[in-house]
Amino acid sequence: MAEDLVLDTAIRDWVLIPLSVVMVLIGVLRYFVSKLMKGSSQIPDPKIVKEGQVIIRARNLRAGANYIPAKSFRARKAYYSNEENGLLHVPKGQAANPQAQMFSDPNMAMDMMKKNLSMIIPQTLTFAWVNFFFSGFVAAKIPFPLTQRFRAMLQNGIDLSTVDVSYVSSRSWYFLNLFGLRGLFSLILGEENATDDTQRMMQMSGFGMDPSKTLGAEKDGLDIVQHDWVLPKFEQRAESVLRKLVK
Amino acid sequence: MVTRTEEEEVNRLENQVENGGGGVWEYLCLVHKLKLRRSDMVLKHGLSILNDSKKRSALGPEEWTLYEQVAVAAMDCQSIDVAKDCIKVLQRKFPGSKRVDSLEPRVYRKPPLYLHKVGGWLRTHHHVQNPCPEPHLWDSHWICCCCRLEAMLLEARGLWSEAENAYSSLLEENPFDQVVHKRRVAMAKAQGNTSAAIDWLNKYLDIFMADHEAWRELAEIYVSLQMYKQAAFCYEELILSQPTVPLYHLAYADVLYTLGGLENLQTAKKYYASTIDLTGGKSTRALFGICLCTSAIGQLTKGRNKEDKESPELQSLSAMALEKDYKQRAPSRLSVLSSTLRSLKI
């Protein structure tokens, strides 16, 4: 396009800046709401706590196997991974289905719902608001040219292929804010408190990590460990240390 | 574990505080963070902050942490009245907590997760730790804290059975309170009831089996009861969790040497060797251990004349290292050492 589009300054004053401000305010509000809701959570499940500890201990065993005598290592290995009542052995069928677990534990489902609610409701509302009021026009221009690939990202809601890609539609501005304000939140609310949508979405998809799977993986890892006692080597090393010392 | 730099920092701050150079709060924070037991200092200086309303309010929400820290320190110093006052203040602030002895079943909210991560260890009955490392505004946490402090107050006053009941009911409500678990062990130990201490400790380790400090405590109790096989197991566990700490290698070697038998002695010698390697030959105990092990092995294998092929020089080298060390640091004892070494030679 040869001629530039001239953007009304009213767009800056009434669309660009308010949109960003509203996004920040909603982020802050959501942080406090989720904090309020988080206050009432339950005591951790004893089984999960214990499983976590078992895994740490098994991992220690795997890492430090060579530092204990072979006899002790074998005893421990049997203790962890024997097929009858080893700590890491998960009987088939007993492997809890996370989905089923979620339904059997109303608290857990409740927690999930709260988390989702605090995320989805404001998001839908703001999106509807932006869509209703500011859809279909250009809100800003970035000061450098971009390739056509960015059209989908920057000009969401404008179906014109002739507009230069460096113009940003208002709906795209909303999305840019939604995903780009993380750094700002971590400044305002403190490092760990940043309400991070992208991260949370990841968590959602990764939900239902099966503890029995980690146990099984740890067991497999333990099964393939070759015990090679390093202590005999230490005798020679101690000799060389002492030789240096005596000299 | 406290590193050397941290220790230096603490000592520097302690000096500064003792000489009235300020930095009291930093000192208290550091002691809190490192879970040190300097109760007299904490009591003295913490109280001076608490008695000064201007300084106290400057702390903000951390005021309550300080109250807790001072209460615990006061119990350690047997200043029961101070501890009582501190607990009273906390209870007034967080009124959800009732008296422990009239404890009714109550639904607790979740204790902060970090309680599981921290939780230092207590050596004796009034070696007190600080259960919450950060200031926190969670009322539920503080209600727990108040209850625990009350129970600890009972313990400090020597009302064992009442304290026992209080701890048990606390654990019923929240079976994952590591601090309470450990207090119970410490209390059993303070009463001289070692077998109960072992029981509680085993129960605790059944859940929190990755807590190496608990393993260490258990190992030491077993050693004191001459249950060396069990102690050896605990030390193996410790070596697994921290393979580079020479202390555990040394203690394990000691236990194995005490157990006796050719195989154990050979293993013990190897662990003494690893201690020497890890400490750079600075461990006198390990050097002596090598000499003793070699002579004991020699005595056991005398008939068969089986020489240790792997490290024939280890004993003579450690004897030389010992002599050198004695020459430098205790020349007057040199004759004793050489006669001892001579008697060990086969």
Question: Can you give the pLDDT at residue A94?
Answer: 58
Instruction: Choose, out of B117, B274, B324, the residue to mutate when testing the contact with A (most A CBs < 10 Å).
Output: B274
Which positions in chain B touch A231 (Cβ < 8 Å)?
267, 270-271, 273-274
Q: For A94, which DSSP code?
A: T
* pLDDT at residue B114 greater than cutoff 80: no
Overall pTM > 0.90: no
Count contacts between A and B (CB, < 8 Å). 115
| Pick from A43, A232, A246: CB nearest B321 | A246
Assign B96 to helix, strand or coil.
Answer: coil
Cα dihedral sign, B302-B303-B305-B306: negative
Of A46, A69, A246, the CB nearest to B324: A246
> Above 50 in pLDDT, residue B126?
no
Q: Which fold has domain B219-346?
A: 1.25.40
Cβ atoms within 10 Å of B137's Cβ, excluding its own: 8
Give the whole-angstrom CA distance, residue A19 versus residue B300: 86
Interface test with A, best of B107, B134, B143, B240 (most A CBs within 10 A): B240
Distance (Å) of CA B286 to CA A232, B233, B236, B293, B301: 16, 20, 17, 10, 22
**Yes or no, beta carbons of B270 and A231 under 8 Å apart:** yes
Q: Which H helix or E strand runs over B345? A: none
pLDDT value for B199: 92
Confidence of residue B222 (pLDDT cuts 50, 70, 90): very high
User: What distance in Å separates the CA atoms of residue A190 and residue B51, rounded to the nearest whole number?
Assistant: 32
Task: Name the average pLDDT for chain B.
Answer: 79
Contact B126, B156 (CB under 8 A): yes
Q: Rounded to the nearest 5°, which phi and psi values hold at B130? A: -105, 115
The pLDDT of residue B313 is 78
ipTM comes to 0.71
- What pLDDT band is residue B119 in, cutting at 50, 70 and 90? very low
Phi, psi of B244 (to 5 degrees): -105, 10
The DSSP 8-state label assigned to residue A142 in this structure reads -
pLDDT at B216: 92
Q: What percent of chain B has pLDDT over 90?
A: 19
Residues 6+ apart with CB under 8 A from B141: B111, B112, B132
Phi, psi of A226, deg, nearest 5: -95, 125
Cβ of residue B285 closer than 8 Å to a chain A Cβ: no
Return left, alpha or beta for A168; rule: phi > 0 is left, psi -120 to 50 is alpha, else beta: beta
pLDDT on residue B125: 31
Nearest to B239 among A53, A57, A64 (CB): A64
The per-residue pLDDT for B239 is 92
Specify whether the CB–CB gap between A167 and A9 falls below 8 A: no
Q: Which residue of A has its CA nearest to B323?
A: A246
Residue B139 has pLDDT above 50, yes or no: yes
Q: Inter-chain contact B236–A72, Cβ cutoff 8 Å? A: yes
Give chain A positions within 8 Å (CB) of B310.
Answer: 232, 235-236
The confidence score (pLDDT) of residue A200 equals 54
Per-residue model confidence as pLDDT tens digits over A156-195: 888 888 888 888 888 888 888 888 887 888 888 776 554 4
Q: Give the residue extent of every domain in chain A.
A: 9-246
Measure in Å the smallest separation between the Cα of A232 and chain B Cα atoms. Answer: 6
Q: Using a CB–CB cutoff of 8 Å, tell me whether B311 touches chain A.
A: yes
- B271 pLDDT tier (thresholds 50, 70, 90): very high
Whether B30 and B9 have beta carbons less than 8 Å apart is answered as yes
- CB neighbours (10 Å) of residue B36? 19
Question: pLDDT by residue (tens digit) across A99-134?
Answer: 555 556 667 667 777 777 777 888 888 889 888 888
Nearest to A112 by CA among A26, A38, A185: A38
Instruction: Say if the Cβ atoms of A64 and B116 lie within 8 Å.
Output: no
Nearest CA in chain B to A61: B240
**Residue in B30, B54, B28 with CA at minimum distance from that of residue B41:** B28
Higher pLDDT, B303 or A65: A65
What mean pLDDT comes out for the span B225-240?
Answer: 93
Q: What is the predicted pLDDT for the residue at B331?
A: 87
**B226 falls in which pLDDT band (50, 70, 90)?**
very high
In angstroms, the CA A12 to CA A3 distance is 21
Residue B199 to residues B185, B189, B205, B207, B231, Cα–Cα distance (Å): 8, 11, 10, 13, 15
CB contact under 8 Å between B270 and A235, yes or no, is yes
> What proportion of chain A, given as a percentage, has pLDDT over 70?
78
Rounded to whole angstroms, the Cα distance separating A145 from A177 reads 20
Q: What is the DSSP letter of A15?
A: I
Nearest to B183 by CA among B191, B83, A60, A201: B191
Q: Within an 8 Å CB–CB cutoff, is residue B210 touching chain A?
A: yes
Domain ranges of chain B: 219-346
Phi, psi of A139 (to 5 degrees): -110, -25
